[in-house]
Structure 1
Amino acid sequence: MFKKTKFIICSLFLLVSISILSGCNLEEASESVKKDKTVETYDLVWFDYLNASSTDSAPPVKVAYMEKHKEKTKTFEKYTENVEDIEKPYIKIVNDKVYIYRPPYLKYIQDPVEGKVKDKKIQQGSDRK
């Protein structure tokens, strides 16, 4: 009787723990970091995924950002990329993880581009001399 009760209590505790942990997702963590004013914000210069064919996990990312008016480059194994409707991309660094906030690469609803061609040059291929 005592073993059965102990087993039921442990099972319930495990189920509650799993339910609580499954409710925490990456979007919530990213949103809380975004709202946290104590975490330093840096202007994003560029970022690039590094080749990591030896593992099945997400590749590391190399990030260049501005810190105290100087460009700094760092590689991160852990990162979260957030595509948002913003004009200027930025990052936030928490311990060894970077949160990248960037606009989409392509927007389908844009104002038409107008202009006038001032100087047109015809590019020649490398096979011509």
Structure 2
Amino acid sequence: MEVKRMLFKKRTVLASLFLLAAITVLAGCNVEERSAEVNKDDTVKKYDLVWFDYLNSDSNEGAPPVKVAYMDKDKVKTKTFKDYTEDVVDIEEPYIKIKNNEVFIYRPPYLKYVQDPVEGKVKEKQVQQGSGHK
């Protein structure tokens, strides 16, 4: 009887883990599909991204809200969003799309490993002094 209980517990745990993994994969696909759908939708307006920042605090449960600054008619506007999707894509200039109360952020990677070397000459150099230097 004890062996049957152990097998039942083992099967239950394995089934739960499988179900949790399946839900995680499906949830990720849903976000990617929504982001791709919004990116292809020409009716959703595209804005140039100026900057964005995560607003961390102790009271946030789940993902933190994000504050976004973007260009709208040659003016910088800022807005905070609770729902957002961030896509790292191979582009030069970052942009956002806003649909309802959700922002979709499309940005290049922070580091590109295959970049052309930077060449140039230093025209002016300033040495900054620390706050303790008199």
For the aligned pair, the TM-score class normalised by the smaller chain equals: 0.7 to 0.9
Mapped to 1, the partners of 2:119 and 2:53 lie a distance apart of 31
**Which 4+ stretches in 1 moved above 4 angstroms?**
21-24
Structure 2 equivalent of residue 124 of structure 1: 129
SS at match of 1:26: helix
Aligned-residue RMSD, C-alpha:
1.8
Change (3 A) 1:63 1:23: closer
1:36-55 alignment, distance < 5 Å? 36-55=41-60
Deviation per CA, 1:45-87, whole angstroms, max 9, x where unpaired? 1111111322330100000111112111100000000000001
Deviates more, 1:57-66 or 1:114-123: 114-123
For residue 42 of structure 1, report the CA deviation from its aligned partner.
Answer: 0.7
The residue aligned with 2:39 is 34
Aligned identity (percent) is 71
For residue 118 of structure 1, report the CA deviation from its aligned partner: 1.7
> Counterparts of 1:51 and 1:128 in 2: how far apart (Å)?
35
Q: Distance in 1 between matches of 2:133 and 2:28?
A: 62
What is the correspondence of 1:1-129 to structure 2 with a 5 Å cutoff?
25-129=30-134
**Any gaps of 5 or more consecutive residues in structure 1?**
1-17
Cα distance in 1 for partners of 2:28, 2:78 equals 34
Instruction: Give the unaligned 5+ runs of structure 2.
Output: 1-22
Instruction: Tell me: CA distance 1:23–1:50, structure 2 relative to 1, closer, same or farther (3 Å).
Output: closer
The answer to which structure has the higher helix fraction is 2
* TM-score computed with the length of structure 2 as normaliser: 0.76
TM-score normalized with structure 1 length: 0.79
